[in-house]
Chains A and B, each alone.
Chain A
């Protein structure tokens, strides 16, 4: 088991011929992800060459790509100005999961795209996220495959590279993962902490979950209450941004401490009030998990 993606997941890459899109498509194929094709408007009759000489077809649009390949998942590496349109197209074409890697999509475009996808029952992960990986099964996005290992831990995070850091330390400590999910750093994201916690709680192979949060918004506080009320599996938290100054955007639009909410201090307090341990350093996460699993 794993959540959201597994070895049966059939992936289309939107923006497959771009610099990042082509690089990460090869990485995904090398990892063993079932990439069944890609979409770049105007390059319809061409093929994309994978890492070991294998090729996949390129289509002009998602509708044709889905009907010819039977893909159920799409991953988006399209530039910001076209990315919301790519999400709409994927949602209409009938995939079940859209993983939006692109950073810098206008927020109002995303408000519309999220509503459109919700209406069609399509899950959006991101945008501005690293995607997800179910070790040994499939990876969709940009998480480096060499740092994960198969095992019982679920990881869900708002960050990108900080997630890799934590996964790497878990793997080094002998704690492999069922699925690692990066939900994205934008103010409007399609899949939140609670959506992932619900899946991990239901997943028979996951025995414990790591939540990695940061400044901004109140998603972590809501997740804390959810964990206390709904989860039987242990959850360990790491929060980034204790030293972040208020009123400044820390890199992406979602990470900002506003006047009334969003400080790490406040979030850590809510986790502790709900009986959830918070690691002081990333290096302490594995130890906290092991003590809860023992």
Chain B
């Protein structure tokens, strides 16, 4: 789960990272008031889960409160990469000497939180990786020991020759690791980490993504979720314990297991159909989930046919069959439904479907071909 810049900055402040003050507002009037209170030049920054905010015109420097108000009214409601901006952060502008990059992610290969730092900050680190890989220093943190003092120092020394700056960066790097671990993050980034003419090191931007599996034990972070940044259907899916992404096609897919769901989408495309969505009903066997899945799929007006592809392991086919029948009774589905069920308890599942006057396929290719055909005929 991505959190906003202002929320990440709160996490950073709580571990002691120097972050300039800021206030989140949702109207131009509030932006003006905040700018007046800070005095001098402020930055107006769109709070949206997307990179490239600056390029999209979502970050502006305002010399006075009236300009802050103007910029806020431009940015609020703006569309940045398909996401609507409904909050801006007002923060005093800093005098910048240099810009560096400090980030930490979970590295799959090292199986550990891994730092990347670069004296070339303010730009996309992927870009630095491509153009000047030597400008990046990387270090994996052994989860058994955590970040050790000399490691933070080694990273900081790569950023700054000046011992005073390096000493401040050393603290910030260690604090960032604390913020990463205490937030259950999978990514945390300061870009840029700036130095000021007065010789201070500060984080003027903050990015953080939280491991969804951590949220059960971090209710304060779970509350940071901004459902306005995702389509309502995805919010509903998540709340029902499903994984759903809307695509542009017309074959509504309901599949158990992420891999099989992707393979089903691929097969729809192979037979020259267009999948309407990715939907994984997951590894449990709760009939309520199937009901929710069907409600979500049928709420997409593009969908012309509903395709079930269920292979039972931990998901029991009879539960899915019951769910399908329950859902059809409950939400009055007019669209054609084609079903493929096989695996654990498949005999019972086939009986249940047949008793309800439905028939089930056993071959994945057959059922996908049928679904594409029905979508084309609709």
A contact set with B: CB distance below 8 Å: 20, 24, 27, 80-81, 101, 103-108, 110-112, 114-116, 130, 142-144, 147, 157-165, 168, 185, 187-188, 212, 214-215, 217-219, 238, 240-245, 248-255, 259-260, 280-283
Contact = CB atoms under 8 A, between A and B. Distances in A.
B143 A24 contact: no
A251 B112 contact: no
B280 A251 contact: yes
Contact of A111 (B112, B259, B260, B280): B112
A108 B275 contact: no
Contact of A115 (B106, B144, B247, B269): B144
B243 to A, nearest CB: 4
A101 B144 CA distance: 23
Contacts of A105: 213
Given A188-B108, A214-B262, A106 B211 contact: yes
Interface string B288-330: 0000000000000000000000111111000000000000000
Interface string B214-249: 101100000000000000000000000001010100
Contacts of B217: 81, 106
Contacts of B263: 162, 165, 238, 240, 282
A214 B280 CA distance: 15
A157 to B, nearest CB: 7
A201 B129 CA distance: 36
A161 B260 contact: yes
Interface of B: 106, 108-109, 111-113, 126, 129, 142-144, 181, 184, 186, 211-214, 216-217, 243, 245, 247, 255-263, 265-270, 275, 278, 280, 282-284, 310-315, 342-344, 364-365
Most interface-central of B106, B247, B313 (chain A CB within 10 A): B313
25 contacts: A24-B314, A108-B184, A111-B106, A111-B112, A116-B144, A157-B259, A159-B258, A159-B259, A159-B260, A160-B314, A161-B310, A162-B262, A162-B311, A164-B313, A185-B259, A187-B106, A188-B108, A218-B108, A218-B109, A243-B275, A244-B262, A248-B278, A251-B243, A280-B270, A283-B365
A217 B108 CA distance: 7
A164 B262 contact: no
Contact of A240 (B106, B262, B342): B262
Given A106-B213, A280-B270, A243 B262 contact: yes
A48 B342 CA distance: 28
A103 B113 contact: no
B344 A144 contact: yes
Contact of B113 (A111, A212, A250): A111
Q: Which 8 A-B pairs have the closest CB atoms?
A: A251-B258, A159-B259, A161-B257, A162-B259, A251-B280, A240-B262, A161-B260, A111-B143
B50 to A, nearest CB: 10
Contacts of B111: 110-111, 114-115, 188
B183 to A, nearest CB: 10
A161 B266 contact: no
B308 to A, nearest CB: 12
Given A142-B313, A259-B126, A250 B245 contact: yes
A259 B100 CA distance: 21
Given A159-B257, A218-B108, A250-B258, 6 more contacts: A107-B214, A157-B259, A162-B259, A244-B262, A251-B243, A282-B364
Most interface-central of B256, B262, B266 (chain A CB within 10 A): B262
A161 B313 contact: yes
A214 B143 contact: no
A208 to B, nearest CB: 21
Nearest to B343: A144
B108 A165 contact: no
Contacts of B245: 245, 248, 250
Given A144-B344, A187-B106, A164 B258 contact: no
Most interface-central of B108, B109, B186 (chain A CB within 10 A): B108
Given A147-B343, A241-B262, A251 B257 contact: yes
A212 B257 CA distance: 14
A115 B259 contact: no
Contacts of B314: 20, 24, 101, 130, 142, 160
A270 B293 CA distance: 36
Contact of A108 (B113, B126, B344): B113
Given A250-B261, A251-B261, A259-B126, A143 B313 contact: yes
B212 A253 contact: yes
Contacts of B142: 115
A70 B275 CA distance: 50
Contacts of A158: 259
Given A160-B257, A281-B267, A107 B126 contact: no
B343 A164 contact: yes
Contacts of A280: 270
Given A111-B113, A160-B259, A106 B214 contact: yes
Contacts of A159: 257-260
Contacts of A259: 126
Contacts of A106: 184, 211, 213-214, 217
Nearest to A169: B364
Contacts of B269: 242-243
A108 B144 contact: no
Given A24-B314, A143-B313, A260-B126, A161 B259 contact: yes
Contacts of A240: 259-260, 262-263, 266
A108 B270 CA distance: 38
Contacts of B112: 111, 115
Contacts of A112: 143-144
B247 A80 contact: no
A187 B364 contact: no
Contacts of B126: 259-260
A4 B100 CA distance: 48
